Amino acid sequence: MDTSTEKSSLRKVLLERRDLTSYDFIKLASQKIHNRLKQIEVFRNAKKIACYFPIGSEVMTQDIMQELLGNGKEICLPKVVGDDLNFRKIGGLGDLEKGGFGIMEPKDNCPIVEDIDVVLVPTVGITKNGIRLGYGYGYYDRFLSKSNTKTISLTYSKQIVKSIPFSEKDIKIDWVVTEDESFETSKMR
């Protein structure tokens, strides 16, 4: 089986597993993940933070964004432009509109942000050493390949797997935060 077929099969299994998660669990786990995230120094010290608006059964990020805005941090969210992502500054959730794939993204008049300190990356599955499985479109990998920003995956413990097929286009994640633990992937070899 080639890498893309293996990834596609694994993605299907992991999304089915995640989508069976109850709303109550998602809400509770998201709060625990938020609390663990605040303990990571690279996140606490960041001034410009890229986040994402959750879809489906993803970890809820709305409270994270609200708290960061309340603390005066610069928050930006991804906007799909052609085959790429750019991150745009928002002043609040009112600066978002439904974009491609039905995902909430910044309006066109929101300014593009450069030199992001930390990117919170949506994750379908991940290994302990930071190999991430996304949705298969490559947007984050393309963006991160041109950046040296720190990356943090927010995911549920049940989405951590032993292995994920890896290609040279895949970008490893620096930190993983779940409801049960947080760890720096370079220390998990």
- pLDDT tens-digit map of 153-174: 999 999 999 999 888 888 899 9
Q: Which pLDDT value is given to residue 172?
A: 93
Domains contained in the chain, number: 1
- pLDDT tens-digit map of 90-107: 999 899 999 877 889 999
Q: What is the pTM of this model?
A: 0.93
Residue by residue, DSSP assigns the chain as: --HHHHHHHHHHHHHHHHHTS-HHHHHHHHHHHHHHHTT-HHHHT-SEEE-----TTSPP-HHHHHHHHHTT-EEEEEEEETTEEEEEEESSGGGEEE-GGG-EEE-TTSPB--S-SEEEEE-SEE-TT--EE-SSS-HHHHHHHT---EEEEE--GGGB-S-----TT----SEEE-SS-EEEGGG--
List the domain range (segments joined by +) for residue 25.
3-187
State the CATH number of the domain containing residue 81. 3.40.50.10420
